[in-house]
Structure 1
Amino acid sequence: MNFILYDGIEWKNLFPITLTRPVSEIRLGLFTIKERWEKYIGVKAVDIITQPFLSKKYSLVKKEYFTNILLINSSFLPNEELIKIILSLKENEAIFFKKKIVVIKKSFFSYKENIISLKEKNYKKIYNIKNIVHIQHTWDIFINNESVLKKDFMFFTKGKKSFSLLGKNNNILCKEKIFLEEDIIANNIVLNAQLGPIYIEKGVDIMEGSVIRGPVSIGKKATLNIGSKIYGGTSIGSFCKVGGEIINSIIFSYSNKAHDGFLGNAILGTWCNLGAGTNISNLRNDYRKITVWNYEKKNFIPINLQFFGLIMGDHSKSAINTQFNTATTVGVNTNIFGYGFPPRYIPSFSLGGIQNSKKISFDRVCETAKIVMNRRNVIFSIVDKKILEYLYQLLNI
């Protein structure tokens, strides 16, 4: 069954995380959205339809059209009920959630079609699904992470055998809800799955005194430094280095929060680094609901949330002892330092903190990205440079 994942109108609502990736590359639970769809359906996606400036990196094929194809809105997460309906779809039938397209089955699809403009009246039959996770805003990612992580664990560990820890004097609580891949090194740690499952991928190094309280996911070859405290609702990507206190947060691959400090109800993109002593407030002192930056309105808007920490785009960094206020949004490739609290919205490519009117030169942007990525044996490609160059020329992102 061939399928294409496409970016709907949700892509713009998920800035700054989607400034550098399609919606399908967002990580929550155990996987990215793309990986999750591929595991549920059982085959690889044949293409990703996203913004033109991202297509050279993320598009999979160069065909002009497809036949007998499923078109799937990437902002929806698959579940068993949805997959059953998908398997029964016939030509020109669709699945909707609250009048929004989830899946379309077409006998012929050309890239000239405008997917977003398609309406209910265009289909022979429409199925409506009532229960589905829809990622429409950045905060939907950490709000849903705990429940998605639990479902992922149940679905993808069924019938599989867990490995054992390579270490001594470890305290394991509720072992049946813990799944370990091979070559995990750990001594004198605590894994507590009484409140939710713990999934740890291969090659993870968990240093002494670390405590993990599920539901939590740790990606391959990640490192947890001495005394790390990882609370529920947290997903840490591959090759990350983390430490301190983390709760209900998603850290994309190759990002670091290696030192003491608090991170809660937050998302870090890839290639981010939080300097030693960086702390993030996830609750206002007066306990009121928060406001968050809206890229389209270019202003802060109220939302019905009390706990909200930080949303940080790819390649952004904070200096030691940086203190972020509740519900701060940081763009792509920022370099944050200086006295006092940084602003609650920091545009991409900004240099400084309160004094953030200065813009990093594009040569320095590329130079830093190349150095950081080379340290992990990853090449800063021409395509990566083109994406950052496109964003650099935009205003207020």
Structure 2
Amino acid sequence: MSTADRESDQAGMVRRLVLVQHLLLVVLVVVGVARALATGTAPLPLLLASAALLLWYAVGARAASVRLREPGPRSSGRTDGGLRAGGWWLLGLVACWLVATAVSPDLVWVAFSVWLLAGHLLPLRGAVVLGLLVLVVVVARGGHAEGWSTAAVVGPSVGALFALALSRGLQALVRDNAERRRLIASLVAAQEEAEELHAELAQAQREAGVLAERTRLSRDIHDTLAQGFSSILLLARAGTATDDPVGQRRLLDQIGASAADHLDEARRVVGALAPAPLESGLTDAVRRIAGRFEDETGVEAQVRVDGDVGGLPPPLEVTLLRTAQTALANVRQHASAHRVVLTLAEAGESVRLDVVDDGRGFVPGEETGARRETPSRGGYGLRAARERLRELGGDLEVESGPGRGTAVSAHVPRGTGRAPRRSW
């Protein structure tokens, strides 16, 4: 059975108990009046007293029902500065009952309903005090027919105790039910808040995914298309600067080959596939881009391999290849070098890539400050390469000086599991 079903059953039980309480008082009054009339009690005073008792009860019955369904906080026996409206109504009901009892002792057993109401409407101490006073009246008037006896004292006492215990137990049950409802409402509110937080977290993750994908695309576009366009632009400028038909033809062939290669690379980037040069391994890919660089620029490009640098996870190979492409692009555009050496080396648990040229060099701090590393003015490639390497647990260092060439050194741990998201 679900929690909602249990609550519904308990609420139905409370309603039935309230109805039984109302019917009990009516039955006790009717039976008392019938017995009193049978014993010769004057009808008019009896009917007036009984009518007043029932009318007063009907006026305050709603208060008793509300107190049953919505009990207040647990009482320590104090009246909290005075009786509530239900308590005053109960005292009025006791007064009506005393009048009816004075008219006929047969109405004394309406006291059972009074004991029940005392347990519902009064704090425990007040209910006990009122119950004892009513018990005294019952015992005093209850032996009118047979005279005083043990049963005349024990019977009402047991009835009073039972009525008070029953009413207090019912109050505890209703109070626990109300507390359970408040707890369930609190849990529902907490669940709704958790769902809202989950939705916010999911939105934040989606935004982070979008940002990561944009970062990936910006890196790949820079490392492939932008460098390809830069290469084609330099070759085209070289072609316009010479009148040698053979040289122009060779440059046009190089432009066509570079455009075809980078078009294929663009398709692979869009399809999120591995770069074509890596299909035969990192070493061959670096040699291939170095050979193309030498053909296009006339700058001698040498590749050295020191140790075992094969068998790397694809994210490591891609990152090192992109770093080599970025370094060569910087040599092409800024270094005015005659020779560049690319070294792939095994360094313990890491793999290192060094790109060293004999160009004009620069002051790293001044170059960074002048360029502010904006994609529109250049300088973005090394920053993106450094971010890629750091995502894999590696790093990138640049050493240079005016007239001393430039050395770009990248290293990354072999076999790291922290791969960038779809870096290729």
Q: Which has the larger radius of gyration?
A: 2
Q: Same fold (TM over 0.5)?
A: no
Superposition TM-score, scaled by structure 2 size: 0.19
More helix by share: 2
Superposition TM-score, scaled by structure 1 size: 0.20
